[in-house]
Amino acid sequence: MSQNQRLLELYERLMSGEHIKKSVEAQHYQVSPKTIQRDIEDLRTMFAANGRVELPYNKKTNSYALSSYNRAINGSIAYALFKILFDSRAYTQEELHTIKDVLLNVTVVHDRKKVEELAKNELIHYTPVKKRSPLSLIESVWQLANASSQSHYVDIYYLKEHDKTASYRRIKPLGVMFSEYYFYIIAYDATKDDNFPITFRIDRIIDFTVLQMKFSQPHSSRFEEGMFRKRVQFMHTGELIYLKFKFTGRSPQAVLDRLPTAKLTKKNDHFIVTAEVFGRGIEMWLLSQAQYVEVLEPRSLREEMKTTIEQMLACYNEATI
């Protein structure tokens, strides 16, 4: 093997997080330890030119390793990403194994085995949510995200939960979001003049075509996923609502976690909470808080909550069969 080939191989291994021992490499490449030392000095010079990476000698391990990695992640980061993926339940077993292989490939070598061992049991018991689209979720999310960033119209065939046949829609995609096990494309219906976005679950899009035709979106009114996420609950969109309610629960922090736009005013024995939210998804969360929430405004939502609670009570007042 030539010096250039040897240097390239050592470089790739270092970038993958390996620790290089001079005596081991001398035997592996069948050269003298002095030759490997010169290789290390050449690599040090190259990394120094980068300005962000060093190749120090570790006396405890008697080896050389990069001080930081441009193309590798440590085990703690890899395992954290695995845990998020497992709990999302968004991907099929096959898709998850594909992502796992890629993540392990960019994990530093000395952490790979441990990460794989920790992930193994969860992979065995992993249960994805049921998807209806024959398309690859990984590729669909990527293509729709690109279409939204470049303001391309998209034709989709969308299969609602209880429908047997898909319906055609032309949409103006605004952005991709993930919530409660599913990926969503946030979009405007291209055939309507609605002034608020709607959501489509990507796993229910059984086919789509990204068109070359673009739509215009003024910079001042551009869609921002972060701002939208703060105001939407369970991906139920609709008009912007200015919400006000009384909260008597034990954890006001739980309110702030669920409603990032919320502002709390402390009263004697409760909080008054105000927030901006999109659509009626907020009603689902408010109902989950039982007697610890009382909606004050808007009046229409207060009446809806009252009607829903009365209907729930009627279910329990009926004679048990």
CATH of residue 189 = 2.30.30
| Structural domains counted in the chain | 4
Q: What is the helix (H) or strand (E) element at residue 208, kind and residue range?
A: strand 205-214
31: its two tokens = 């050269």
Residue 59 belongs to a domain: yes
Of residues 108 and 29, more confidence is placed in: 29
Residue 82 belongs to a domain: yes
Residue 235 belongs to a domain: no
Question: Would you say 198 and 208 are in contact if contact means Cβ atoms under 8 Å apart?
Answer: no
Print the domain residue range for 95: 75-124
Residue 134 belongs to a domain: no
Give the per-residue pLDDT at 74: 81
Residue 251 belongs to a domain: yes
Give the per-residue pLDDT at 235: 58
Residue 129 belongs to a domain: no
What is the sign of the dihedral through the CA atoms of 173, 195, 235 and 261?
A: positive
Identify whether residues 91 and 36 lie together within a single domain: no
Identify whether residues 60 and 83 lie together within a single domain: no
Residue 69 belongs to a domain: no
Identify whether residues 249 and 306 lie together within a single domain: yes
| Range of lowest pLDDT (65-79, 95-109, 264-278) | 65-79
Give the model's confidence band at 320: pLDDT under 50 very low, under 70 low, under 90 confident, else very high.
Answer: low
Of 124, 141, 157, which one is at a domain's C-terminal end?
Answer: 124
| Range of lowest pLDDT (76-90, 120-134, 233-247, 248-262) | 233-247
Residue 164 belongs to a domain: yes
How many whole angstroms separate alpha carbon 185 and alpha carbon 194?
Answer: 17
Q: Helix, strand or coil for residue 294?
A: strand
Give the per-residue pLDDT at 60: 87
- Report which of 171, 165, 177, 158 is spatially closest to residue 210, judged by C-alpha positions: 171
Question: Would you say 259 and 277 are in contact if contact means Cβ atoms under 8 Å apart?
Answer: yes
Give the model's confidence band at 229: pLDDT under 50 very low, under 70 low, under 90 confident, else very high.
Answer: low
Identify whether residues 213 and 164 lie together within a single domain: yes
- Report which of 314, 308, 303 is spatially closest to residue 284, judged by C-alpha positions: 308
Q: What is the pLDDT of residues 159-212, one digit of tens each?
A: 988 888 999 999 999 989 888 889 999 999 998 876 678 889 999 999 999 999
Q: Is the pLDDT of residue 255 over 80?
A: yes
Identify whether residues 56 and 95 lie together within a single domain: no
pTM above 0.85, yes or no: no
